[in-house]
Amino acid sequence: MRIKGNLAFEGTNYHGWQVQNNGVTVQQKVEEALSKITGEDISVVGCSRTDAGVHAINYCISFDSDTSVPLANLPLAVNTVLPPDIRFYSFENVSQDFNARYSAMSKTYIYKTVCNRVLSPFMNNHAYHFPHKVNIDDIKTASKCFLGTHDFSAFMATGGSQKTTVRTVNSLLVYETDGILNFEINANAYLYNMVRIISGTLLYVGCGKIGVNDIPCIIESLDRTKAGITAPPEGLYLKEIFYE
């Protein structure tokens, strides 16, 4: 049977989601735990290839299993053999054609930034420390330029393997909570480091390094060198995945 699982993870200790030879990954730990509990050789499909240090509030996987463990009990069982920075919330039966990655209609990411002079030790590895004053009104105005369907080549790091660089941004919210500046973006799909580059560009708008009215020209240029920095991974969180 095809199973869908929902989990969260704190990504500081991992080299991203996808299994690789040069470091421990979240997928590796998840497959090891599921295989141990079910007694099967489990291989999972993840909804997103998150980078090293990136976190997930809600991450989705799919896999096939004939386990006899009731799905209502499976989260607690699997969590007992997972490290404490990875936790499953639920499992459910889904149709055989469901794929955690390719069935996704859109995904929402949040990028968290602290713009104070001093970063609280409790935010270390959980937000980007950008110790500059920013104009949030300018950031909000510039953020609207990203909405809609565009070629986002200027906001893509090298190393991606996508067939097209055209993406549709459905929403981009800018708001503050408890001293944290949040960029919350929903899109149908993302280019490599797209959210982190958009976030870095908006921070540059906020501190005056890039003009508010420059964003449309940067998008049209398709030139990565004209956009802002690639904000570091510790501020990025996968928030939600939407399926039809």
Residue 199 to residue 197: CA distance in whole angstroms: 5
**Residue 180: half-sphere exposure toward Cβ, Cα within 13 Å:** 18
Cβ contacts of 114 within 8 Å, gap of 6 or more: 120, 123, 127, 128, 129, 130, 179, 180, 181
Out of 51, 64, 151, 214, pick the active-site residue: 51
Residue 125 to residue 204: CA distance in whole angstroms: 21
The separation between the first and the last C-alpha atoms of the chain, rounded to the nearest angstrom, is 20
138 is catalytic: no
**CA 75 to chain CA mean position, Å:** 22
Burial class (CB in 10 A: 0-12, 13-18, 19+), 109: buried
Burial class (CB in 10 A: 0-12, 13-18, 19+), 71: middle
Nearest to 233 by CA among 85, 62, 15, 3: 15
Instruction: Determine contact, residues 19/63, Cβ cutoff 8 Å.
Output: no
Beta bridge partners of 12: none
Residue positions annotated with a catalytic role: 51
